Chain A
């Protein structure tokens, strides 16, 4: 029996209600659930003595008894309107974790539907992938997600298929205090396929306290290319624990933009395995923290084959008493010669009370590689502020604009117009370059 790490935390409680899903889906899916429940029981709950959680205190999550969502919330089209983007080739909407077919649209030329249905209708496409990219992750919350595996988005893009416009996956949380949802996404691109997916998590009530425990698994085939945008815009009191695991085959490319907009505690882990020669990944991120938020972005790239390239570029703006954590792990196998891997974590700290823990972690077993890393933490340089002032602007205005400009450098790379525009507005409002 593993020890209970947090005082008063009863592990069995996390598995309450797990039997609800026990009999659904094909036998192999049921086996995943059962195995994962066992694995959860074996794993130690996150605590500050564990290297991966050293700076990330999730005690408030462990202390809260979250329940599964019961019943359906009535949500109408106009309520959802501000969170949808329109256009796109397909849209999958989930309300409190449950698929909402009335708001969802399927696409021509690409398979996109909810996972619980796909588990039976597209079993052959799913079985080779589901759960295969978690690589025995020691994160008990990932095991919990699998134990409760029920629904989420399934996207499958056939060989050489490409289409104009993104697939939108929208998770809407209504006012549901003390509930937990387990979104589970699987995105599979066959060789030569191309797709953009936007996964967003939003709240109808800014003060609702719930937990999103989510997993996204991605398989990028040979010479295929996926761009995954993840927008975490949860309620200000909500918790978001997520794991994205990706395998990229020869010549394939996985790009991601992970944007943390809102949420009390966010941990958005991304792990990419470059598992074929010439594969590429670039992970971009932006976190904007304030109040007493905690935002943790663990990133990890495994160079398993030669001639792969990777880039990690995360930027953060920290205000008030908030706390951000960033880690960039790069593991280069002995065979992975000619690896080219670079990372940069830049932080703008606006308050003396905000803290950032940033650490690169490079483990390199090949000898002919180029790996760089860097991190910056600080206020905008005085000489930049002075430049604004010589043009008639106050220091406060200079800082607002510099902050906006700093964050916008990530946002303006977003290639989907409505997503970029809305996010630019968010960043603009957050840092109001021109104070009243």
Chain B
């Protein structure tokens, strides 16, 4: 599905990603964990195509294509989706209108017919049920006046409507209480499929009790310093990140 090789990226002149390697097969769910500031969101933003981040080295191939050459909207049309850690508010544009426009752009790029407002309403209703979002949110301006949890759920709703091939969830669990966390996780689990891969970025192991990953990676100072199965997440939960940092320091010293 996606292969990231030796990815380096700068923000405002500071190197944040310092050689990320990650390969994800079809239908796999990979968790990316790591302490705050280790570069998880940067990785997500770079994959989504945020031009504020400058890629200085490395390559990303997605479905056999060079992802880094594409503008953000083309990546989205090809099937890349990122659920933002901090979703922005869009004044005056309703959730339904926004999503319908996005979905239709993606459909058009695949030579599919656009959905009209009625067809889209039906689809939206179905997806809102899936992620347990109150139908009244359809006509509210995107994310405006939403609570933190509602914004996160709204991101998952967008994923459900746009049906990406690769979903990158950037801390979709942060700030959620346990009920909201379950709803988000349920929504995500229902979207798991052999054709859809996911990168689940999280700071805590908690989410991974609900979204059980196939692989777990630890990002530290812009590199993946440890990879393993789902039990790695439990180990991190029990022992914290310090031992990883020490191992990484030893590893770097031995290089």
Q: Please classify how large the interface on chain A is, using the bins under 10, 10 to 19, 20 to 34, 35 or more.
A: 20 to 34
> Is B191 in the interface zone, CB < 8 Å from A?
no
Please tell me if the beta carbons of A402 and B72 are within 8 angstroms of each other in the complex.
Answer: no
Tell me the minimal C-beta distance from A393 to chain B in angstroms: 5
| Residues of chain A with a CB closer than 8 A to B27's CB | none
The chain A residue with its CB closest to the CB of B76 is A392
For chain B, residues 117 to 145, give those with C-beta under 8 angstroms from any C-beta of chain A.
141
Q: How far is the CA of A388 from the CA of B104 in the complex (A)?
A: 13
Contact between B49 and A401 (Cβ–Cβ < 8 Å)? no
Contact call A406/B91, Cβ cutoff below 8 A: yes
Residue A88 interfacial (CB < 8 Å): no
B129 to chain A, nearest CB (A): 21
Q: Are A392 and B91 in contact (CB under 8 A)?
A: no
Residues on A lying within 8 angstroms of B by beta carbon are 382-384, 386-395, 397, 401-402, 404-409, 412, 433-434
Enumerate chain B interface residues (CB-CB to A < 8 A): 48-52, 71-73, 75-77, 81-82, 84, 87-88, 90-93, 97-99, 101-103, 105-106, 109, 141, 158, 162
State the total of A-B contacts with C-beta under 8 angstroms: 79
Contact A391 B90 (CB under 8 A): no
**Which residues of the other chain, A, contact B84 by a CB distance below 8 angstroms?**
387, 390
**Chain B contacts for A387, CB-based, 8 A:** 84, 87-88, 90
Beyond A382-B52, A397-B101, A434-B101, is A390–B92 a contact (Cβ under 8 Å)?
no
The contact of A401 among B50, B75, B77, B98, by CB within 8 Å, is B98
In the complex, the 4 A-B pairs of residues with the closest C-beta atoms, listed nearest first: A405-B92, A391-B102, A389-B72, A392-B105
Contacting pair A433 B101 (CB below 8 A): yes
A389-B71, A392-B102, A405-B141 as given contacts; A384 in contact with B50, CB under 8 Å: no
Q: Is the interface of A mostly helix, strand, loop or mixed?
A: helix
Chain B's closest residue to A409 (CB) is: B92
B93 and A389 form a contact (CB under 8 A): no
B-side contacts of A408, CB under 8 Å: 92
Cβ-defined contact, B76 with A389, below 8 A? yes
Check if A390 sits within 8 Å of B49, measured CB to CB. Answer: yes
Q: How far is the CA of A409 from the CA of B72 in the complex (A)?
A: 28
- Verify A406–B92 contact, CB threshold 8 A: yes
Interface centre among B75, B77, B90, B99 (most CB of A within 10 A): B90
What CA separation (Å) do A392 and B161 show in the bound complex? 12
- A-B residue pairs in contact (CB < 8 Å), sample of 12: A383-B88, A387-B87, A387-B90, A390-B49, A390-B81, A391-B101, A393-B73, A394-B73, A397-B101, A401-B90, A401-B93, A408-B92
- Residues in chain B near residue A393, CB distance under 8 A: 73, 101-102, 105
Q: A390-B76, A391-B76 are in contact. List 4 more A-B contacts (CB 8 A).
A: A390-B73, A392-B103, A404-B93, A407-B92
Partner of B158, one of A391, A409, A433: A391
Contact A402 B102 (CB under 8 A): no
Bound CA–CA A368/B51 (angstroms): 48
Are A409 and B102 interface neighbours, CB within 8 A? no
